[in-house]
Amino acid sequence: MRIDSIKNGIVIDHIAAGKAKEVYDALDLGKLDCQVAIIMNCRSNKMGKKDIIKIDNDFDVDLDVLGYIDPNITVSIIKNGERVEKKKLQLPEKIINVAKCKNPRCITSVERDLDQVFYLANREKRIYRCYYCESKAEKKG
């Protein structure tokens, strides 16, 4: 299968196989007007299988969102067909309106206009907790 390389844009690589849709939704890529290619289950020496997303336009990627989903994801900025920058992700200390608290007893379930805030509680185990009720963030898949 052949996907054309992009001239100016972004390549989000090393996404764990099957997670591309989650990245697509989290970055709200459906709103973009440009071409977006989602490539799933690519062969990878390092990962066995992986997903890739190519975005055919310059776009301000929210690195905190990606870092929260998986800090092993890489983001490459492509200009004139060349990679000009490769961004390494980190686990963000705090994420706002990325995950939603699932605790039905949490104040976020009733208070209007309240941001969904999670903080990094355990870096080693990648555990995020709700800033309000301290419930663990439940990641998809």
Partner 1 sequence: MKKFIIDPMDLSVEEIDDLIALANDIIKDRTRYQDVCAHKILATLFFEPSTRTRLSFESAMLSLGGNVLGFPTANVSSASKGETVSDTIHVTSGYCDIIAMRHPKEGAPVVASSACTVPLINAGDGGHNHPTQTLTDLLTIQREKGTLKNLTVGFCGDLKFGRTVHSLLKAMSRYEGTKFVFISPDELKLPDYLKEDILDPMGIEYKEVRSMEEVMPELDILYMTRVQQERFFNEQDYIRLRDTYILDEEKLQAAKKDMIVMHPLPRVNEIKTEVDADPRAAYFRQANNGRFIRMALILSLLGLQNEVERL
Residues that bind partner 1 (CB under 8 A): 103, 105-114, 121-122, 130-136
Please give the span between the terminal C-alpha atoms of the chain, in angstroms, as a whole number.
Answer: 27
- Which residue number, 68 or 132, has a Cβ lying nearer to partner 1? 132
Distance in Å, CB of 138 to partner 1, minimum: 14
Residues 72, 90: contact at Cβ < 8 Å? no
Residue with smaller CB distance to partner 1, 43 or 112 = 112
Q: Cα separations (Å) of 12 from 55, 110, 138? A: 8, 36, 23
**Residue 87 vs 136, nearer CB to partner 1:** 136
- CA 27-125-131 angle, to 5 degrees, is 60
* Least distance (Å) between residue 113 CB and partner 1: 8
CB closer to partner 1, 98 vs 101: 101
Residue among 16 and 121 whose Cβ is closer to partner 1: 121
Q: Which of 67, 68, 55, 52 lies closest to 19, judged by CA? A: 52
Least CB distance from residue 67 to partner 1, whole Å? 22
Smallest separation, CB 132 to partner 1 (Å): 3
How many Cβ atoms are within 10 Å of 13's Cβ, its own excluded?
A: 20
Residue 106: CB minimum distance to partner 1, A:
5
CA distance 64 to 67: 5
